[in-house]
Amino acid sequence: MVLSSEEKERILRAVEEDREFRYALMGLLGFKELLERFAKLEERVYKLEERQQMLEERVNELSLEMARFSKVLITIAHRFGVITEEVFRDTIAGLLSKYFGASASKQSIFDDEGIVFGYPSMIDVDVVVKNNVHILVKTKSRVDPGDILMLLRVAKLYEKKTGVKPKLAIVAGFVSGKAREVALKYGVDIYTYIEE
């Protein structure tokens, strides 16, 4: 059955103006079922959003826990490294003294001009002396270029305060390739177990 243009126009006007006719037509076309389905979909989307929010909160809580765990791990690693360096330093000092007649000591020098850190501070340095040769020794678990540059500033401070130009040495578990390059450039001796 084909509708004339007048019939189509009357139907469209009825849909616009007659609420009952419009609802009846919507029912006939299945709009009620579609609206119910949309309502159910809206409800499911809302529940999914709630779940998503809960998951994000849990992930944030996990992230905080992981950050706390990471801090604890770093602190333990740092403490272990400090303890290891201290024990190693004392052992080397004892060996140098006993078998080579060299004196090894830890000295504290006040850097009033801020040569090492850029502001006045107390600087601790390990010094080995044998036959009037002074060697500043830095003991670290890992050495990067910045450690070499800092030792050079400590040497400058030491020379200024004592009048003695020291030799420089670093004893380390790990030495980066860049640190080795900087050490060679400035004449710093490196004693290491593993080179990265």
8 and 49 assigned to the same domain: yes
Establish if 97 belongs to a structural domain.
no
pLDDT digit string, tens, across residues 121-131: 999 988 888 88
Phi, psi of 108 (to 5 degrees): -110, 125
Band of residue 156 on the pLDDT scale cut at 50, 70, 90 = very high
49 and 107 assigned to the same domain: no
188 and 115 assigned to the same domain: yes
Last residue of a domain, one of 87, 113, 129: 87
CATH number of the domain enclosing 139: 3.40.1350.10
Is the separation of the CB atoms in 152 and 167 below 8 Å? no
30 and 71 assigned to the same domain: yes
DSSP-assigned letter for residue 163: S
Q: Rounded distance, CA 137 to CA 189, Å?
A: 9
Last residue of a domain, one of 38, 53, 87: 87
111 and 79 assigned to the same domain: no
pLDDT digit string, tens, across residues 60-97: 777 576 666 556 655 655 555 555 666 666 766 776 77
| Domain carrying residue 106 | 102-195
Establish if 96 belongs to a structural domain.
no
Number of domains in the chain: 2
Contacts of 122 (CB under 8 A, 6+ apart): 108, 109, 110, 111
Structure tokens at 146: 């910045």
